[in-house]
Structure 1
Amino acid sequence: MRFTFRCVDPVADAPLLHSWVTQPYASFWGMLSATEAGVIDEYAKIQASGHHHALLGLDGGVPAFLMEEYLPASSPLADAYPVLPGDAGMHLLVAPPSGVPEPGYTTAVMDAVLARLFAKPEVERIVVEPDARNTKIHALNERFGFRPAGVVGLPDKDALLSFCTRDGYLAARATLPTLEPSARMESTRPEALQGAAAL
């Protein structure tokens, strides 16, 4: 697996994150007008919350994407749907390419993120709630087995609530030719997913 993960350092990583979240392509992240101080404050709160955590995905040691994992029961989603044991929430922001975009890169990133989450035995289902207008992420989510459950009103947006089970992810993954065959996972057992997460 080409990607590894490390925890976000709110202060040290603020300049980098600020350079990502304030670009027009990241408009749905909701931080276009953020300052570096605002980024520090936001990620310090996330890292101290106990139920929400931010990680940088590294490609060869170089930061390539930002992922957040959280407990839906401790988020605004708790009032939007009946949270089940084993639900895990996820946010993803891929960094802008530094050169010519690599075909299939975002697909590979999404695969690494989902594999990491499903490597946890307690995770049965991944929940996402992107902005209802964000058609690009809806399409990517669908390719990986997410199924929409309808639009819900959250404090900061109208979101398309979608769910992906471990079996749904593995079934969808098997249909994606851009993923390296050597990394394909044939088992739904958590231990099989742990190797693919490469943590």
Structure 2
Amino acid sequence: MTIDQEKEQSNSISNKKNTTWKTIWENIQILVIAIILAVVIRTFIAEPRYIPSESMYPTLATGDRLVVEKVSYYFHSPQPGDIIVFEPPMQLQLQGYQRNQAFIKRIIAKGGDSVTVKDGKVYVNNQLLNENYILESPHYNLESVEVPEGYLFVMGDNRNNSNDSHVWGFLPEKNVIGHAIFRFFPWQRIGSILSTII
């Protein structure tokens, strides 16, 4: 092998090493960008959630997977009818629930509204709610309560099997993580979760 051939072979090996390291470096950069994007999207835009209980049945079933969006509440406050995911309020944390143990319920009333449950019916501001989404009428009564400003009154659609505001009180709006909008699993139930105007 001549000196020129040895140089050419050495350059070829060096070029292959440079190409390999360049490819590895590009892949690392892509991976870092993907991780940053995933964190930003999950923190500020949307995240997946899993339904662990039957408290929202029949609207949502145990095992359903949802997309919870976070953008709309930057522009307007949560509204009655919205199905929301939230961090447990202090009342629940004192009972042993962890702050990261998210709940999902439907907003029934917001600050300034009054809520009453009587004879199996829910009233907001003395107006009967038309609740065609619940499993069955509540088997309990609740004396009229007024929701403080900055708080929400939330209930599960499975009224008699739901640990909600009729048990532990009002939910601070600041605890809201996002708005459940879309079910992506199971496949036969895939689709939008529309808020019911109540």
Same fold (TM over 0.5): no
TM-score (norm 1): 0.26
Q: Which one has a bigger Cα radius of gyration?
A: 2
Higher percent of residues as helix: 1
Q: 1 or 2 for the larger relative contact order (CA 8 Å, sep ≥6)?
A: 2
What's the TM-score once normalised by structure 2's chain length?
A: 0.26
